[in-house]
Structure 1
């Protein structure tokens, strides 16, 4: 009877381990949030995006990690609540991104183009910034984005 109970315990433990292993990829999947409108104005015109809004430490820390793709009209806007030196990295980020650093008024202060997936290299704002907009690599070039262009979003109070 004791041997049967031991084998039953081992079997249940193995089954539990297998079940937890199957759940691991689901936990690695980035949490989905609602999308908000965002507009980038360049010399070429208006560019409409729908973005996820990362305004908590947990959301900013997770960012776009573990995403296999990003649509050309999607992105993530990171709100750091005040102007400061911002540092980012690409750890666990599978796709190359353009990182657009933004002042409190929504103006572009720096563009880090075609960032390297999975890199732990630090990508800094190189001066005070309030926010970072991450979009698919090549987007900044495609829309003609330059320093000084304006990003419009409710966070900046300039969405029209």
Structure 2
């Protein structure tokens, strides 16, 4: 009888220990978010009307698109950008939550002239980056391009949709 109790006891302990094992973690595979060219944009100098840059752009117009922006992207080419279009001219603030690439954020007035810009916004930083003045558009490009292009307040953009 002692042997039977011992076998039952060992069986219960073994079953308990076996049931405490962690199941392997499931890996959820996500598809990378790619760039979709929806239009083209040019940037020109304010005084001499000289072309500074020509970009392929995606548009962020809906509330979801403007809230998500370039979040979760792994990279972006230097000839690409995202143009945010708001319904009216007012103060705006952007942050880099869930954004994995450093960006230059270019704030534009309703007349499509550069009002201000934030250079080298750091990935994953949730600090608000203010437009400093009322604006209606925002252009996001790879960090370092504003300096490379020698952008200035007053430079102008033009865009078209495909």
Shorter-chain TM range is 0.7 to 0.9
Q: Which structure has the highest helix share of the two?
A: 1
Q: Aligned Cα RMSD in Å?
A: 2.1
1:68-113 CA-to-partner distances (Å, cap 9, x unmatched) read: 1111110000011110111110001111100000001100000100
Higher Rg: 2
Task: Quote the residue 2:77 is aligned against.
Answer: 71
Task: Quote the residue 2:142 is aligned against.
Answer: 136
* TM-score where L is the length of structure 1: 0.77
- In structure 2, how many angstroms separate the alpha carbons of the residues matched to 1:131 and 1:107? 9
- The question of whether the paired residues in 2 share the 8 Å contact of 1:113 and 1:138 is answered with yes
Residue 144 of structure 1 and its aligned partner are, at CA, apart by 1.1
Structure 2: state its 5+ residue gaps.
1-22
Change (3 A) 1:61 1:31: farther
1:112-154 CA-to-partner distances (Å, cap 9, x unmatched) read: 0001110000001111000100000011111111000001114
Task: Quote the residue 2:103 is aligned against.
Answer: 97
State which of 39, 44, 52 in structure 2 corresponds to 1:41: 44
Over 4 Å off, 4+ runs:
none
Structure 1: state its 5+ residue gaps.
1-13, 156-160
